[in-house]
Amino acid sequence: MTSPVSYADVVPGTELPAVTYPVTRLSLVKYCGASGDFNVIHWNERVARSVGLPDVIAHGMFTMAQAGRYVTDWAGDAGALVEFGVRFSAPVVVPDDDVGAAIEVSGTVEEKLDGNRVVLGLTARSGEAKVLTRSRAVVRLP
Amino acid sequence: MGINKDYLGRTFPVTDPYEVSRIKIAEFAGAIGDPNPVYRDRAAAQAAGYPDVIAPPTFPVVIAMAASGQAVADPGLGLNYAMVVHGEQRFEYSRPLHAGDVVTAQSTISGIREVGSITMLTTETVIRTAEGEHVCTGFSTLVERGEA
């Protein structure tokens, strides 16, 4: 948790430090159970390959959750989001090894709006792939 | 087999009430690897100004899926689920969900687009408390890849 950010201190154009979040096969098994999304491509590489994927892939919503954590940790308030939207531009491929994959999220303060709202532009990468594009969050700050 | 465009604008039945529980929020927060105490510790959530532990921003998808699933799985729609990937997701929040909320969800098919062999289906799912208070609306776009 970072300390809460105040609206007055936010400067448009500021680039926020990137944060890397790990994802392993265990992460996906846990996310299947917690979310109720048991789509086979998230845990069975035989089926994933049979439908043309390189390997098991993470749930898009798992990746979005990492971006959500990035924003709420920056804001210092997990309930600060007013709007949150992402586009899943490539899958996060999760190999069956002890390391898994990494999701690197970065953000930029794009704009300050009335009502103490701030717009963040977000991107996420995994390896060479951009996995989230045209993504943004609007948070309300104190 | 193409998608049935007559489904554009169709609204599906309201789901049964879903009770948001502390244990489910903690399970979800653990699964996404987020250690924030406001997802687990009632005192921490209350210190932050909430009535009880709150749910992470993407938690509403757990509730929305029960509603949007009715649309996606409707055989009359003609979506080939094996070829579907998640294209876009967006939420508009009135407030975070918290433990003790009893909510329902209702989905409407708000967009059907075909671009070449690709079909894009957008559902809009509104989550409200049993008293009718708006909590959040989720917009989900699924992409059906065409047969190669």
Average pLDDT over residues A99-107: 97
Question: What is the predicted pLDDT for the residue at B1?
Answer: 58
Among A76, A77, A67, CA closest to A136: A67
The structure tokens listed for A126 are 């995994």
Domains and CATH numbers, chain A: 9-140 (3.10.129.10)
> pTM (2 decimals)?
0.96
Distance CA B54, CA A74 (A): 17
Residue with more model confidence, A4 or B20 = B20
Is B91 within the bounds of a domain? Answer: yes
Could you report the average pLDDT of every consecutive run of 10 residues in chain B (148 residues)?
89 96 98 98 97 98 92 89 88 98 97 92 97 97 80
Q: How many angstroms separate the CA of residue B123 from the nearest CA in chain A?
A: 14
Is B105 within the bounds of a domain? Answer: yes
Question: What is the predicted pLDDT for the residue at B81?
Answer: 77
Q: Mark yes or no for CB contact A52/B86 under 8 Å.
A: no
Residue A45 has pLDDT above 70, yes or no: yes
The structure tokens listed for A13 are 């154009």
The structure tokens listed for A4 are 């809460």
Is B65 within the bounds of a domain? Answer: yes
Is B35 within the bounds of a domain? Answer: no
Among B123, B124, B89, B125, CA closest to B104: B125
Is B45 within the bounds of a domain? Answer: no
Chain segment A61-90, per-residue pLDDT in tens: 999 999 999 999 999 999 999 999 999 999
Q: Is B51 on the interface with A (CB under 8 A)?
A: no
Q: Mark yes or no for CB contact B33/A27 under 8 Å.
A: yes
CB atoms near residue B41 (< 10 Å):
14
**Residue of chain B nearest A35, judged by CA positions:** B62
Which DSSP category does A57 fall into? B
Is B44 within the bounds of a domain? Answer: no
ipTM above 0.90, yes or no: yes
Question: What is the predicted pLDDT for the residue at B129?
Answer: 98
Is B64 within the bounds of a domain? Answer: yes
Is B40 within the bounds of a domain? Answer: no
Q: Are strands B118-129 and B84-93 parallel, antiparallel or unpaired?
A: unpaired
Question: What is the predicted pLDDT for the residue at B117?
Answer: 87
CATH of the domain at B69: 3.10.129.10
Q: Which residues of B touch A48 (CB under 8 A)?
A: none
Domain range enclosing B110: 5-20+55-144
CB atoms near residue A44 (< 10 Å):
12
Residue carrying the six token digits 């159970």: A33
Q: Mark yes or no for CB contact B85/A60 under 8 Å.
A: yes
Distance CA B59, CA B64 (A): 9
Q: Mark yes or no for CB contact A87/B56 under 8 Å.
A: no
Residue carrying the six token digits 């993470």: A58
Average pLDDT over residues A4-10: 93
The structure tokens listed for A61 are 């919503």
Our count of domains for chain B comes to 1
Of B56, B82, B85, the CB nearest to A68: B56
Question: What is the predicted pLDDT for the residue at B141?
Answer: 97
